[in-house]
Amino acid sequence: MSIHRFSVRPVLALLAGLSIISAGPAQADATLLNVSYDVSRELYKEINPAFVAHWQKTAGEKLTINQSHGGSSKQIQSVINGLEADVVTMNQAADLDVLARSGLASTDWRKAFPNAAAPYTSATIFLVRKGNPKGIKDWNDLARAGVSVVIPNPKTSGNGRYTYLAAWG
């Protein structure tokens, strides 16, 4: 398989608004659990070291960040069912709405952003057969005769919704 990556919307909102942070009492060493949707795993591998260094410099304590990644619906349900997350980062406004309905997030979380927007980052990856025999390079190639597209169900998958909307747009 070959991988072709296409940016859908280059908006990066680092933890802002899609994060719910609970502050606890100060300790000599601190540990945070970030519960997040699966696609963000690599992003946090890059961001966490800088955040840890900043924390140590400003708070004067060692910080360990543990991560839990999985499908967004499963992750949200785990938090609702008692997984003690310090930070929850999701890519869909609907995920935060579920947390708000459960009482774990403010129901007016959208007011923190201009036009009640939910900041996110998203990319779509096209997986093609070895050697890319149909020459898939961009969105227009997906509409050609003889090309089949498989995406997650947009009714149940955040990535499916983004992929559908990106293709539609």
- Per residue in 21-53, pLDDT tens? 444 444 458 999 999 988 788 888 889 999 999
Do 142 and 59 share a structural domain?
A: no
Percent of the chain with pLDDT over 90: 28
Do 105 and 27 share a structural domain?
A: yes
Is 163 among the domain residues?
yes
Do 110 and 37 share a structural domain?
A: yes
Check: CB of residue 30 under 8 Å from CB of residue 62. Answer: yes
Distances (CA, A) of 121 to 13, 76, 83, 147: 7, 18, 25, 27
**pLDDT: which is higher, 10 or 104:** 104
Do 135 and 92 share a structural domain?
A: no
Do 94 and 67 share a structural domain?
A: yes
pLDDT at site 165: 79
pLDDT at site 18: 33
Do 151 and 84 share a structural domain?
A: no
Is 4 among the domain residues?
no
pLDDT at site 63: 94
**CA–CA distance, 136 with 8 (Å, rounded to integer):** 16
Check: CB of residue 14 under 8 Å from CB of residue 67. Answer: no
Distances (CA, A) of 71 to 76, 120, 130, 152: 9, 16, 27, 12
**For residue 57, pLDDT beyond 90:** yes
- Per residue in 59-78, pLDDT tens? 999 999 999 998 888 898 99
Is 73 among the domain residues?
yes
Is 157 among the domain residues?
yes
- Per residue in 119-152, pLDDT tens? 555 556 677 889 999 999 888 888 899 988 888 8
- The tally of domains found in the chain comes to 2
**For residue 14, pLDDT beyond 70:** no
Do 87 and 147 share a structural domain?
A: no
Is 5 among the domain residues?
no
Picking from 69, 86, 114, the residue at the C-terminal end of a domain is 114
Do 136 and 73 share a structural domain?
A: no
Percent of the chain with pLDDT over 70: 77
Check: CB of residue 52 under 8 Å from CB of residue 18. Answer: no
Print the domain residue range for 141: 122-168
Domain of residue 81, CATH code: 3.40.190.10
